[in-house]
Amino acid sequence: MAAETSNALRSRYAIVLHGGAGGDPKKLPEDERTQIQAAMQQALSTGRALLACGGSALDAVERTIRILEDEPLLNAGRGAVFNSAGGHELDAAIMDGRTLACGAVAGVRTVKNPISLARAVMTGTRHVLLVGEGAEALARTLEFERVEPSYFSTDRQREKWERAKRLAADAARTGQPVAAWDDEHKGTVGCVALDRHGNLAAGTSTGGTNNKLPGRVSDTALIGAGTYADNATCGVSCTGTGEEFIRHGVAKDISTRMAYLRQPLDEAVTHVIEQTLRPNDGGVIAVSHDGTIAVRFNTPGMTWAAADEQARFEVGLGHE
């Protein structure tokens, strides 16, 4: 069970974000790097300011992810990848480390900010995960901001989709494995925060993987795979090849290593990245119950940002 905390405000707080693992973001065009960095800085500033004044980790996670969902150069919300049918299906999850309450949505098509709908599943229903039309119906009932599916489309992601389709067709024609397009920066977004009440929260949002089959659900939406938080241990958000994070229950495994093996956060995260996952599978951001921040990945790069009460304010493009 998650640890209880007192009402007294502590001095310690911490927040870490990611904007996806994959290809090295330093190889993106300069204007794209500048735009992504600005979005990460805006999100980090928003979350840090909220935490500094005693706001909740849950609010910090939701608000920062909403900013990143609105950034068209990232693969969450606007700018999401296309599935093989030429549409967009969005996944998101959020978790409260204080109570282990959690909520998630998968396969949503018209919800502007899926992370907020995931939080509504957590707080307004007795369920954890709603998918497809069920999630859309909840959004209509709660009068969430909704958009036409075309809102999520960008020329940049359409070009990537067309390339992925060509590679898949070439593989089918020759009988060879599908050529990799892992040199692309994938752009899933996530946030983990520790607030001054001692509570942890984690959230993740994604458009999934390029040219995915319709109906595919990512690790992002599966609590314990791509998203997890427990005040007794840590909060975790993952990015990368979702199927591998699902197979290994990566987010929960990091927490479990801290609980049962008494591993420090960095050791637990490093073990999973270097020994459980394969090279190029992805990356992890995490915050422990004592405010330690961890950023690790085994891809060429990952976009991330971190801040705490000790004046740390850092945005990383492609390096740890």
For residue 318, give every residue at least 6 positions away whose Cβ sits within 8 Å of its Cβ, in sequence order, or none. 24, 25, 26, 27, 300, 301, 302, 303
Q: Give the DSSP letter string of the chain.
A: -PPP--SSPPS--EEEEEEEEES-GGGS-HHHHHHHHHHHHHHHHHHHHHHHTT--HHHHHHHHHHHHHT-TTSSSSTTPPPBTTS---EEEEEEETTT--EEEEEEESSBS-HHHHHHHHHHHSS-SEEEHHHHHHHHHHTT--B--GGGG--HHHHHHHHHHHHHHHHHHHHTPPPPP-TTSB---EEEEEE-TTS-EEEEEEE--STTBPTT---GGGSBTTTEEE-TTSEEEEEEE-HHHHHHHTHHHHHHHHHHHS---HHHHHHHIIIIISPTTSEEEEEEETT--EEEEESSSEEEEEEEETTS-EEEEES--
- Find where tokens 């992002």 sit: 220
Q: Has 188 been annotated as catalytic?
A: yes
What is the C-alpha to C-alpha distance for residues 218 and 244, in angstroms, rounded to an integer? 10
Annotated catalytic residue, options 188, 204, 209, 241? 188
Tokens of 168: 């898949």
Catalytic residues: 188
